Amino acid sequence: MTFTDWAMSLGGIGFLLLGMGMMTEGLKAAAGDSLRSILERSTQTRMRALVTGFSLTALVQSSSAVIMTTLGFTNAGMLGMRKAAWLVFGSNVGTTMTAWIVALIGLKIRLDMIAMPLIGIGILMHLLIRGGRFKHIGYAMAGFGILFFGLGTLRDAFDSVAEVFPVEQIAAAGLWGVALGILIGAALTMLIQSSSAALAIILTAAVTGVFTPLVGASLVIGANLGTTSTSVLASIGATANAKRLAWVHVSEKIFTGTIALALLWPMWKLADLISDMAGGTIATGLALYHTLFNVLGVLLMWFFAEHLFRFVERMVKQPDLSSETARYLDKTVLSSPVMGVGAMHSEQKRVFKQLLRRGRHILALADDERDGHDEVNTSTLMTKIADFSDELGKVAGMGNQSELYLNLNWALREMRELRLNLNALRKPDANGLHDALGEALVQLLSQLMGSGQLKALSAIERSQLMKAIKAERRTRRKFLLAQLEQGSADATLTTRQLTLIANAEDAAKRVLRVAGVLYPAQEAIATDELAASDIGRPDSDAAADAHPDSAVDAR
């Protein structure tokens, strides 16, 4: 190969990767919050997830882009591993559309004829439109064009690539040739980080007759195995969620590749027969083989996916709920506000659940040796969330994530105060806490100490519960003060009990404030109702109890 040939090959790869990056960033920015809701609505069943993965990949012509985006949402905790896995399986089938475009159209027209208008129109849209979704769509469109231009450049440089890979000799090597074909296909895909580009090269080589059909089929198997390198690279340094999805992708491809290799001859004969009946060439036969390979993968996963999921979950452990290791925060999601804010949201839910669990232990008066360990971890995790928030705040273009970002930071401050409230409630012995709060107040507070219970409460029910807690707190306060006036209670003990009641009410208010951000209620509360409730403001009695030295004066 000459220097020009090397330059064209490297340039084609560079255009390909640049276009893929621009396309992904543009689409994510254009979709914003709606992309998350689309993915959530479209992944409720595995069939819907399959169709969504197929459709998105067929649209963007890059399974790597779809899988990387899916990894990002999984990394941020915005998409569960099982739902994301079926998106990936669908994406595997969707990527076969690229092979069909190359086989039926790409070998007959120049891709740069499509690329240039896309680049020009996309860049103009990005530069001339001041803001909004269409600005990002223009950026993505330019990325599409650059992606196609890179594919065209790679195709033009193929003759030189064929000289580097001795495919003529491979054809005569039998089983060793098939094995070598798999390795070359995998290496080619890992090198250029695109199975679409690798398939384009393989199909272009196929029509020149430089290798036998079976070697071509083995190259297709290798290209499918090599595409998992994108997932593996993206999961390095990522959270356990992303690592699990990456290993699901790798395991599925290896499993499918092993079965496809065992069925190499009959699968190729079927593809070749259908291609001949339709008057196609070896390129169309290999495109059909590529489709059969990925459809086989979906069929296998339909029956064995749950076994694979459980295997991966055992292999890649999630940090324990009480672990100080973050589950969702890492630098890979900082580049996208929607993913970064989503990761922050997911991590705060995890810490909030720890605090609620601590509250349940305190109210139930159950000794738990992990309480002290949890306390350290909640403090450490909240510090990590704050540091992550600072880094995320430096990202330009927060867009429609700004309000949620600010609300999460406010909720984080409330969680810090909630932790202090719970620590204060934990100081007295078991009898002391119950004597101070009374059974009725304990029962009301217990309704707040579960994430499932909170999510089930409507906005009106949350407001009514807070009113009931305040009313019971007042009743309890009057009872304790009456005992003190009658001389049947110790003043120091009563002061401590009033302080505990005030801390309990503050904890309840903060639980509801945080829940309002992390678990928004379905019905909105009117402004006047919020003002009348105790969720958003203190009262004189509670303030007096929180500062016992002034309790008598305030009363």
* Residue-number span of the structural domain to which 456 is assigned: 365-523
Say if residue 415's pLDDT is above 90: yes
pLDDT band, very low/low/confident/very high, at 439 (cuts 50, 70, 90): confident
pLDDT of residue 400: 74
Looking at the structure, do residues 308 and 436 belong to the same domain, yes or no? no
pLDDT of residue 508: 93
Q: Which residues have C-beta within 8 Å of that of residue 74, sequence separation ≥ 6?
A: 80, 81, 84, 241, 242, 244, 245
> Does residue 167 sit within a domain?
yes
pLDDT band, very low/low/confident/very high, at 43 (cuts 50, 70, 90): confident
| DSSP notation for 93-146 | HHTHHHHHHIIIIITTS-THHHHHHHHHHHHHHHHH--SSHHHHHHHHHHHHHH
Sign of CA dihedral 339, 344, 347, 352: negative
% of the chain at pLDDT higher than 70 = 77
- pLDDT tens figures, 322-371: 567 788 887 777 777 878 888 899 899 989 988 998 888 888 744 444 44
> Does residue 550 sit within a domain?
no
Q: Ranked by mean pLDDT, which of 23-37, 79-93, 328-342, 419-433 comes out on top?
A: 79-93
Say if residue 249's pLDDT is above 90: yes
pLDDT of residue 370: 44
> Does residue 300 sit within a domain?
yes
d(CA 386, CA 100) in angstroms, rounded, equals 48
> Does residue 348 sit within a domain?
no
pLDDT band, very low/low/confident/very high, at 406 (cuts 50, 70, 90): very high
Say if residue 378's pLDDT is above 80: yes
Mean pLDDT check: name the lowest of 66-70, 123-127, 185-189, 325-329: 66-70
Looking at the structure, do residues 275 and 389 belong to the same domain, yes or no? no
Return the CA Rg of the chain: 30
> Does residue 514 sit within a domain?
yes
Please identify, among 298, 315, 332, the residue that sits at the C-terminal boundary of a domain: 315
Looking at the structure, do residues 302 and 376 belong to the same domain, yes or no? no
Looking at the structure, do residues 310 and 369 belong to the same domain, yes or no? no
Looking at the structure, do residues 172 and 256 belong to the same domain, yes or no? yes
Please identify, among 315, 338, 357, the residue that sits at the C-terminal boundary of a domain: 315
d(CA 480, CA 436) in angstroms, rounded, equals 8
> Does residue 256 sit within a domain?
yes
Question: How many domains would you assign to the chain?
Answer: 2
pLDDT of residue 468: 93
pLDDT of residue 34: 60
- pLDDT tens figures, 255-311: 999 999 999 999 999 998 998 888 777 888 898 999 999 999 999 999 999 999 999
Looking at the structure, do residues 84 and 199 belong to the same domain, yes or no? yes
Burial 247-286 (b: 16+ CB within 10 A, else e): bbbbbbbeebbeebeeebeebbeebbeebeeeebbbbbbb
Average pLDDT over the chain, rounded to whole? 79
Looking at the structure, do residues 83 and 204 belong to the same domain, yes or no? yes
- pLDDT tens figures, 105-164: 654 556 667 778 889 999 999 898 887 778 888 988 898 788 778 766 766 665 555 555
pLDDT of residue 374: 46
Say if residue 432's pLDDT is above 70: yes
Looking at the structure, do residues 257 and 371 belong to the same domain, yes or no? no
Looking at the structure, do residues 113 and 249 belong to the same domain, yes or no? yes
pLDDT of residue 100: 82
- pLDDT tens figures, 218-246: 999 999 999 888 788 777 767 788 889 88
> Does residue 157 sit within a domain?
yes
pLDDT band, very low/low/confident/very high, at 320 (cuts 50, 70, 90): low
Please identify, among 254, 285, 315, the residue that sits at the C-terminal boundary of a domain: 315
pLDDT of residue 309: 93
Q: Is the pTM for the entire model greater than 0.95?
A: no
Q: For residues 330 and 457, which has the higher predicted lDDT (pLDDT)?
A: 457
- pLDDT tens figures, 497-529: 898 899 999 999 999 999 999 998 754 443 333
Burial 116-141 (b: 16+ CB within 10 A, else e): eebbeebbebbeeeeeeeebbbbbbb
pLDDT band, very low/low/confident/very high, at 553 (cuts 50, 70, 90): very low
pLDDT of residue 470: 93
Say if residue 429's pLDDT is above 90: no
Q: Which residues have C-beta within 8 Å of that of residue 473, sequence separation ≥ 6?
A: 441, 501, 504, 505, 541, 542
> Does residue 354 sit within a domain?
no
d(CA 104, CA 120) in angstroms, rounded, equals 26
Looking at the structure, do residues 73 and 207 belong to the same domain, yes or no? yes
Looking at the structure, do residues 148 and 248 belong to the same domain, yes or no? yes
pLDDT of residue 31: 60
If you average pLDDT over residues 473-486, what whole number do you get?
89
pLDDT of residue 120: 92
Looking at the structure, do residues 308 and 373 belong to the same domain, yes or no? no
